[in-house]
């Protein structure tokens, strides 16, 4: 059967990524979940770009087209519901799903809370692993998406999975505490600490100053301890914990400054040569520089209050990261943004000097990568840490500590 063949190849593909990245592979029960739960049941629509516009094609479950199945059974994220060019929800990359299921320690008989139902595909795999559908509670803020997921779950023969239409940021204390919590959207906050059992696991795409890292936590009484694995990109929280409005406002302001007043800093390229891509760089060299740049940007994010993510629709400057000091009437006001192949600054040179000093500090620490940190979470904000290898990020519902080891 073509579906089984394509599904097996998809699973083999993401397992190969675990090997290449030297990551511990997911348990057999997780792999079996992917092999037994078919992704096409959760993709009644296939979206593809055509001239910069999203087009949609419906699946006919009575007569499945081979070409559509080949688009579904690939180790990539998929748009599964959209209105015009507005993406409403996606199906995550299977590799990332497997990694999060592994990190959340999903087991037979466990009680699992999922934040962000999406298509329902992940909830179905969790239900297969748990062997008790009613033990899986999935929260979805968008009613249209929740109804969509319920239809998909019924189609795939998982009708007992509980899909709750409410703000996922609030969790679902009614059925807690949980053995595992899996968050499938970019989360700047961790408001559901009390809904996790002592000894339970949390897997979350944690947003820190605009940078998302996949973090796995284990609760140890009144704290959680964990590690970071990879950089990720999810749709962000909606509802009371959304950071979208503030983030969008900053981005619009930043773009005006960068494009109107910013100046290219060719004089800094030599100092940051291991981060800046050059025209004659091979793809391997570019890949290495992307990796180093991502890790340095993360270091800036956890070590500096002025760290800012930059996004725009300007070709060549779609993404960047740097510092932005905007305190009114402050002579140190300015910005510096690192792009793939250039650096742009505006305002005070003191900010540029500070940025370079953080780069030198990162190099002194042997250019740490995200896997070099232990991360701890405390549901309080009165911690006092004096250690230059411990970086403290205060959040609304607690504090995260990133410790270099």
Is residue 396 one of the residues assigned to a domain?
A: no
CA distance 304 to 326: 14
* Mean of pLDDT values over 326-355: 88
Q: Are residues 183 and 306 in the same domain?
A: no
Q: Are residues 63 and 174 in the same domain?
A: yes
Q: Are residues 83 and 116 in the same domain?
A: yes
Is residue 299 one of the residues assigned to a domain?
A: yes
Q: Are residues 176 and 67 in the same domain?
A: yes
Question: What domain count does the chain have?
Answer: 2
Question: Which residues lie below 8 Å from residue 154, measured CB to CB, with a gap of 6+?
Answer: none
Q: Which DSSP letter does residue 228 get?
A: E
User: Which residue, of 240, 271, 293, is where some domain finishes?
Assistant: 240
pLDDT at residue 329, rounded to an integer: 60
Crossing angle of helices 121-130 and 143-155, in 10° steps, is: 50
Is residue 248 one of the residues assigned to a domain?
A: no
Please provide the average confidence, as pLDDT, over all residues in the chain: 91
Q: Are residues 109 and 234 in the same domain?
A: yes
pLDDT tens digit string along 250-279?
Answer: 667 788 888 889 999 999 999 999 999 999
Is residue 401 one of the residues assigned to a domain?
A: no
Is residue 386 one of the residues assigned to a domain?
A: no
Q: Are residues 203 and 260 in the same domain?
A: no
pLDDT at residue 383, rounded to an integer: 79
Which range among 76-80, 120-124, 230-234, 367-371 shows the weakest confidence by mean pLDDT?
230-234
pLDDT tens digit string along 96-110?
Answer: 999 999 999 999 999
Q: Are residues 16 and 88 in the same domain?
A: yes
**Can you give the residue range of the structural domain that contains 151?**
2-240
Q: Are residues 182 and 305 in the same domain?
A: no
Which range among 63-72, 231-240, 290-299 shows the weakest confidence by mean pLDDT?
231-240
Beta strands in 184-231 (DSSP E): 196-208, 211-220, 223-231
Position 345 confidence tier, pLDDT thresholds 50, 70, 90? very high
SS3 333: coil
Q: Are residues 228 and 257 in the same domain?
A: no
Strand order in the sheet with 196-208: 162-165, 136-140, 112-115, 178-183, 196-208, 211-220, 223-231, 373-378, 398-404, 390-395
pLDDT at residue 53, rounded to an integer: 79
User: Which residue, of 188, 205, 240, is where some domain finishes?
Assistant: 240
Q: Are residues 312 and 204 in the same domain?
A: no
Position 169 confidence tier, pLDDT thresholds 50, 70, 90? confident
Q: Are residues 154 and 187 in the same domain?
A: yes
231, with CB counted inside 10 A (0-12, 13-18, 19+), is middle
Is residue 58 one of the residues assigned to a domain?
A: yes
pLDDT tens digit string along 20-34?
Answer: 999 999 999 999 999
Instruction: Name the residue with tokens 């329902």.
Output: 120
Q: Are residues 223 and 288 in the same domain?
A: no
User: Which residue, of 206, 240, 274, is where some domain finishes?
Assistant: 240
Catalytic residue list: 92
pLDDT tens digit string along 193-218?
Answer: 999 999 999 999 999 998 999 999 99
Is residue 170 one of the residues assigned to a domain?
A: yes
pLDDT at residue 72, rounded to an integer: 96
Q: Looking at residue 236, which CATH number applies to its domain?
A: 3.40.50.150
Is residue 392 one of the residues assigned to a domain?
A: no
Percent of the chain with pLDDT over 70: 95
């Amino acid at each position: 059967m073509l579906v089984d063949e394509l599904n097996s190849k998809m699973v083999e593909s993401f397992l190969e990524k675990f090997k290449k990245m030297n990551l511990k592979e997911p348990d057999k029960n997780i792999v079996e979940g992917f092999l037994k739960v078919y992704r096409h049941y959760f993709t009644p629509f296939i979206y593809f770009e055509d001239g910069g516009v999203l087009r949609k094609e419906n699946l006919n479950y009575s007569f499945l087209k081979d070409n559509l199945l080949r688009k579904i059974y690939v180790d990539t994220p998929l748009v599964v519901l959209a209105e015009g060019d507005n993406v409403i929800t996606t199906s995550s990359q299977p590799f990332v799903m497997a990694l999060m299921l592994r990190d959340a320690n999903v087991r037979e008989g466990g009680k699992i809370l999922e934040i962000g139902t999406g298509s329902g595909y992940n909830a179905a795999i969790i239900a297969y692993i748990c062997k008790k559908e009613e033990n899986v509670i999935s929260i979805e803020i968008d009613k249209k998406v929740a109804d969509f997921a319920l239809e998909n779950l019924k189609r795939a023969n998982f009708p007992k999975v509980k899909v709750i239409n409410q703000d996922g940021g609030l969790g679902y204390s009614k059925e807690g505490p949980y053995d595992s919590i899996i968050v499938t959207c970019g989360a700047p906050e961790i408001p559901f600490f009390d809904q996790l059992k002592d000894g339970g696991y949390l897997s979350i795409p944690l947003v820190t100053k605009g940078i998302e890292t996949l973090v796995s936590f284990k609760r140890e009484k009144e704290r959680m301890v964990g590690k970071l694995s990879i950089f990720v990109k999810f749709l962000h929280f909606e509802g009371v914990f959304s950071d979208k409005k503030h983030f969008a406002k900053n981005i619009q302001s930043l773009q005006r400054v960068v494009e109107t007043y910013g100046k290219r800093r060719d004089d800094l390229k030599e100092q940051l040569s291991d981060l800046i891509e050059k025209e004659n760089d091979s793809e391997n060299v570019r890949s290495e520089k992307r990796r180093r740049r991502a890790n340095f940007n993360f270091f800036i994010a956890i070590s500096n209050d002025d760290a800012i993510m930059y996004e725009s629709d300007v070709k060549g400057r779609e993404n960047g990261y740097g510092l932005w000091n905007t305190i009114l009437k402050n002579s140190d006001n300015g910005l510096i943004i690192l792009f793939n192949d250039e650096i742009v600054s505006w305002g005070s040179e003191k900010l540029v000097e500070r940025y370079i000093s953080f780069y030198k500090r990162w190099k002194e620490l042997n250019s740490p990568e995200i896997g070099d940190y232990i991360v701890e979470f405390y549901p309080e904000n009165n911690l006092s840490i004096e250690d230059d290898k411990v970086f403290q990020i205060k959040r609304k519902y607690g504090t995260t500590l990133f410790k270099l080891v």
